[in-house]
Amino acid sequence: MDQYNTTYTPGSGSRRRKPLRLLWLIPVILLAVILSLDSFYTLKEDQYAVITTFGRPSMVSESGLWPKLPLIQRVQKVSKSIQGFPLGYRVGSSQSVDEESLMITYDYNFVNVDFYVEYRVTDPVKFLYNSSDPIGILKMLCQSYIRDTIGLYDVDSVITTGKSEIQAAIKQKVMTRLEQEDLGLQLTNITIQDAEPPTQEVQAAFTAVETAKQSADTAVNNARKYANEVTPAAEADADQIVKQAEAYRESKINEANGQAARFSELFNEYQKYPLITKQRLFYEAMEGILPDMKVFIVDTGTGVQTMLPLEQYATIDMGGAGK
């Protein structure tokens, strides 16, 4: 009996080699599955799709199952829904973010104001390619215009009655700037979540501002009180001076009118009797210059010399003397 017994079955070696030959089908099948999966994408109703083909983007906005070229086209999905972010606080935390919320008002008071910003994407291609960080730019614009607008209102308006007006003003400014920047974003709403005076680390500064404001108000009130006390006396003095000036003016006008009337009368007399008027004016002038002077009238025809007091001479009929 042989020690080794070997049995040979025809075709057994070829059956063992067949599975080895089929192994190359596995990566082919996997590749086909991957390519088939990459040939379609699903788009929801609240999404945009930006398809990039060799670097050139295009937009798809209708929902459904869409084909694409595998490994060549890339799909980026962007939400259509309204989204938002907080300013001045963090969601789930009660702590304020001072670098975002702490502001100064028109009347030099500090205030903590928290906002919530809501936006939506209107053009996904511009949103993805016009800027590397459109949300960051929107946040920066909101912070800038918030501080600018809060600085135009006093603290009472910011905390109580002026919230709606402030929100509307900020929204309009940000929307106008977004149109200029062309980021594919639209601001839908911006609301004040909370507004309150600062606490703790800025309380000392807030108190100092309030104290300065009260001191300024006190100084203004004192100045107004002093003005109210001094103004009536000054007005009375001014009225008295004006009345004195008016009286002096009237007296000078009357005096000038009298002198003008006297001159007119003298001129009329002079026209009637020139020689007599000259003599009369001469005697009156001499009486004013030399009140104690004795007047001698000499008649050149007879040589008679007569001494008359000037006041008596003034009563002589000048018409008779001239004859």
pTM across the whole model: 0.53
In tens digits, the chain (323 residues) has pLDDT values of: 444 454 545 555 555 555 656 666 667 667 666 666 667 778 888 889 888 888 788 888 887 887 787 778 888 899 999 999 999 998 877 777 888 898 999 988 888 899 999 999 999 999 999 998 999 999 999 999 999 999 999 988 898 889 999 999 999 999 999 999 999 999 999 999 988 877 665 556 666 767 887 888 888 888 888 888 888 888 888 888 988 888 888 888 888 888 888 878 777 777 776 777 677 777 777 777 777 666 666 555 555 545 445 444 444 444 444 43
Kindly state the tokens that stand for 287.
């009486």
Distance, CA of 17 to CA of 66 (rounded, Å): 43
- Long-range contacts of the stretch 313-321 (C-beta < 8 A, 24+): 313/283, 314/280, 314/283, 314/284, 318/273, 318/276, 318/279, 318/280, 319/273, 319/276, 321/276
Distance, CA of 173 to CA of 171 (rounded, Å): 6
> What pLDDT, on a 0 to 100 scale, did the predictor assign at position 310?
45
Residues composing the chain: 323
> What pLDDT, on a 0 to 100 scale, did the predictor assign at position 179?
93
Domain ranges of the chain: 35-79, 83-198, 213-272, 273-321
> What pLDDT, on a 0 to 100 scale, did the predictor assign at position 318?
43
Assigned fold of 83-198: Tetrahydropterin Synthase; Chain A (3.30.479)
Q: 75: which strand partners?
A: 51
